[in-house]
Amino acid sequence: MPAAMLLRAESLDKTYTTPALVDVSLELRGGEVHALVGENGAGKSTLARILVGLTRPDAGRMLLAGDPYGPSGKAEAARRGVAIVPQELNLVESLTVAEQVLFGAWPSRRGFVDRRALRVQAHAALGRVGLRGIDPERPVRSLGVGQRQMLAMAAALARPCRVLILDEPTAALSEHEAERLFAQMERLKAEGAAILYVSHRLEEVRRLADRVTVLRDGRVVAARERGETTSAELVQLMVGRDTGSRPPRDARPAPTGEPLLRIRGLRRGRVLRDVSFELWRGEILGLAGLMGSGRTETVRALFGADRVEGGEIELRGRRLPRLFLSPKQAVAHGIALVTENRKDEGLLLPLSIRANLTLPRLSELCRRGFVRREAERAAAGALASRLGVKCASLEQPVRELSGGNQQKVVLGREIHAHLRELAGAGKAVLVVSSEIEELRALCDRIVVLSGGSVAATFTRERFDQDAILVAALRDHAGGNGAG
């Protein structure tokens, strides 16, 4: 007997500046895990957001257990039994575990939060995901990465859940934590829930999924039942398009002499496993990989933002006694980081654009302990003009800018120039991106990370989008590498 249809999406369209989803249809059945796979930018997260009301489609319709379904937000979706554990968890650090688990639905008594009921209900939800040993009164900020992931899972399951969407859930989990997640998924299947599993990890997809849907460039290109496909076919379906539409930039002479920066044996648990690479003067080096590959962790360790268990660094031909212990040390040695998390780590959102642009240069702009405002405005204006920051005034709060213009402010504040200008001036640039086309167009070499280690290194004449993606999928697909 076929499983009951719980959630059906029909002919969904969504366009931002370019189409994100085109005529996408999907069926989620009770008691099944349905995997959704595709490259970065294929539309997976957009579809997941539509299913829980975080994004509205431009066209199409949805049905939940046969009834019209179009939630106005995540809270309404949860009330109707559809929950999501997103890539970015958005936990409130200052809350207790119990408060986070039942956030938005705290039990009350005589107009006040019923703390006892809150603890009891939270403890039950935590137990469902194997966190019985966590004190419900413990602050969220004290939890590790894996515990936070399972906490988000507990919060999603705190209400009756018919459909659960997991967006890249194992990217930050240890092997033990991932196994605990898989066990919980099996329990939910047995209870008749439908699970949409969004992941790059093809070995997990083949192990867990009853059905697989492949998205490419916002369109459904294939749907397969369990046992009907292989990891190799899934990779081909994900990348099966012309990769020559955006050629790499003109060739540059191969670097000579000693590298400006050499990293050897960077290690941190399962996240970083013997990451090594070199970076020469005048070179733009790309760092590619899927979510959870170790890209961000590598640059944060290099910048002194995160501690590691081992590794060596050589700078300008001299071996340093240890990796940097803080960003301040890295900056003192001439290293700057433009963070991917601009709102939390890159900008002071309440301050003006002017203040954010000149923050690292205040010592140059001060006289007798006071900021020279005219000099500050001139410096900020010159930098904003150089980077093309579009704003009504340099005095407006930086939070009012678009995301792209916010990133220009971060870029301007940290390195004060465009990447190619820096390379042309003899600087070394390390670019981390999930967009392979962007790296092909910009970089001299590309290092691909997979599963916390270097899977392949590509020089410009060997840049091939399919080969780079296959290398990025090496550990995720259970293969032996590529490129």
pLDDT in tens, 137-173: 999 988 877 788 889 988 988 888 999 999 988 876 7
- DSSP class of residue 30 equals T
Q: What is the pLDDT confidence band of residue 339, given thresholds at 50, 70 and 90?
A: low
pLDDT at 360 over 70: no
pLDDT at 451 over 80: yes
Same domain, 20 and 76: yes
Number of domains the chain contains: 2
Domain boundary among 239, 271, 301: 239
Distance CA 403, CA 408 (A): 9
Return the structure tokens found at 10. Answer: 């029909």
Same domain, 187 and 276: no
CB atoms within 10 A of CB 423: 22
Residues 112-143: tens digit of each pLDDT: 988 999 999 999 988 888 787 888 999 998 88
Q: Where are the alpha helices (DSSP H) in 157-225?
A: 175-190, 202-208
Same domain, 290 and 181: no
Asked if residue 103 is part of any domain, the answer here is yes
User: Which residues have a Cβ under 8 Å from the Cβ of 91 and sit 6 or more positions away?
Assistant: 100, 140, 148, 151, 152
Percent of the chain residues topping a pLDDT of 90: 33
pLDDT at 411 over 90: no
pLDDT at 384 over 80: no
Are the C-beta atoms of residues 98 and 137 closer than 8 Å to each other?
yes
Distance CA 178, CA 153 (A): 12
What mean pLDDT value characterizes the chain?
Answer: 83
Asked if residue 299 is part of any domain, the answer here is yes
Same domain, 222 and 292: no
Same domain, 128 and 192: yes
Same domain, 68 and 122: yes
Q: What is the pLDDT confidence band of residue 243, given thresholds at 50, 70 and 90?
A: very low
Distance of CA 290 to the CA centre of its chain: 9
Domain boundary among 209, 239, 269: 239
Q: Residue 227: name the closest of 212, 248, 245, 244 by CA.
A: 212
Q: What is the pLDDT confidence band of residue 180, given thresholds at 50, 70 and 90?
A: confident
Q: Residue 256: name the closest of 282, 287, 285 by CA.
A: 282
Q: What is the pTM of this model?
A: 0.62
What integer is the mean pLDDT of 285-309? 86
Asked if residue 153 is part of any domain, the answer here is yes
Q: Which domain holds residue 431?
A: 261-340+419-477
Distance CA 282, CA 285 (A): 10
Same domain, 80 and 113: yes
Distance CA 150, CA 130 (A): 8
Same domain, 185 and 295: no
Q: What is the pLDDT confidence band of residue 341, given thresholds at 50, 70 and 90?
A: low
Asked if residue 352 is part of any domain, the answer here is no
Look at residue 407 in the predicted model and tell me its pLDDT.
57
Look at residue 248 in the predicted model and tell me its pLDDT.
47
288: number of CA atoms within 13 Å, CB side? Answer: 34
pLDDT at 480 over 50: no
Domain boundary among 171, 206, 239: 239
Distance CA 441, CA 147 (A): 39
pLDDT at 18 over 80: no
What CATH number did the domain enclosing 313 receive?
Answer: 3.40.50.300
Same domain, 227 and 280: no
409 exposed, middle or buried (CB, 10 Å; 0-12, 13-18, 19+)?
buried
Look at residue 417 in the predicted model and tell me its pLDDT.
45
Distance CA 182, CA 184 (A): 5
Distance CA 64, CA 81 (A): 9
- DSSP class of residue 352 equals B
Look at residue 56 in the predicted model and tell me its pLDDT.
94
Using alpha carbons, list the distances in angstroms from residue 240 to 38, 179, 462, 466, 483.
11, 32, 18, 8, 17
Asked if residue 440 is part of any domain, the answer here is yes
Asked if residue 10 is part of any domain, the answer here is yes
pLDDT at 388 over 90: no
Asked if residue 70 is part of any domain, the answer here is yes
Same domain, 55 and 152: yes
Same domain, 276 and 208: no
What integer is the mean pLDDT of 457-461? 92
Asked if residue 369 is part of any domain, the answer here is no
Cα(first)–Cα(last) distance of the chain, in Å?
46
Same domain, 155 and 299: no
